[in-house]
Structure 1
Amino acid sequence: MTEGLRARARLAMRTEIAETAFALFCQRGFEQTTVDEIAEAAGLSRRSFFRYFPSKEDTVFGLLYDLGEELAAAVSARPASEPPWTALRAACSVLLTPMLHRTDDAMALMRLINDTPSLRARHQDKQDRWRGLLIHALTARSVPPLQADVLASSALAIFDVVCRQWLAVGPTAEPAKLMDEVFDLLTTTT
């Protein structure tokens, strides 16, 4: 089996486990669902579960970690002549993809995170990782480290606001319009 095929098979299994876990969390609650129940529902042993995810919380966030890498890559792919804030704003559209294509799942995921203290803490860890990736992408564009940190932190804060507002308003709200509105609000206030 080639490395590419092996990686795709691993990603497919991780996705299947994460989706199985998510369905159980929505049905039973995060705290009430055990790793053993997730493994059994996914047709795995407990030991095999831990080959794919280091913890139960990682089934919620494991696939979202890749989204941070996509965001950083989108920043890096922007034209070098583009101002850093403009590049960030354009790149943040990759964060909206799950919200636009799987609205019900995305809302259920946000509710699960908001309602579960351990997941809120893990969410902060994820945001810190994304911030580091963004800072690296920005400094590679010759943005000074302090400015890169402020810009990356601001963009991620905007995404958090968009998520909270979208969750509060419901699926009738349009995440892309909310994102534009929040970016505009911050841009015109500074």
Structure 2
Amino acid sequence: MVFYFESSVVSPPVLLFMGLDKYENEDLIKWGWPEDVWFHVDKVSSAHVYLRLRPGQTIDDIPSSVLEDAAQLVKANSIMGNKMNDIEVVYTMWHNLKKTPAMEVGQVGFHKEKEVRKIKVAKRVNEIVNRLNRTKREEHPDFRAEREKRDRLEREDKKKVLREQKEREKEEEKRKKEEAELKSYNSLMSTENMSKYDDGNDSDDFM
């Protein structure tokens, strides 16, 4: 089961989501998308909250208001973190999450620590948490099927772009060829005209 929340601090609203428990978290880690940003309370057990970026967006494009919503949602869904003030929430792109066989269910590390960012949360803001909870809904997605569909569509888009690029290259090649043929034809016509009006007499004397 996955819980979805709508953050309406931007337009259009964005979705934040998290697994029911560590087993759902494990599936989210395994079948995450390259566009997913992962959030977690630093050094304390908490829910794994995700934000899915839109095509073309990067982690630098996330508005501060959305970061605050995600951080408050993570804090509110941490037994220890919810009781504490002045905590830090870490976030990074999904592809930076590191999972090894020795790790417990739902536990993750990072491939590159320098790609992990932090946001400070002074205290719980009930106004934000309550606003997000009013949008909460439960779903039972097939993580693997959704990821495979996403990858298939990406491959199809890449093939389409490649086909269009090849068509443009063919058109450009055809245009250059026609221009070269036209230039050659014009040059030939110019040479023929010179020969036609040349009588072989270099003298200017008409007598």
State the TM-score, normalizing by the size of structure 2.
0.28
* Bigger proportion of residues as helix: 1
- Structure having the larger proportion of residues in strand: 2
Structure of greater Rg? 2
TM-score, reference length from structure 1: 0.29
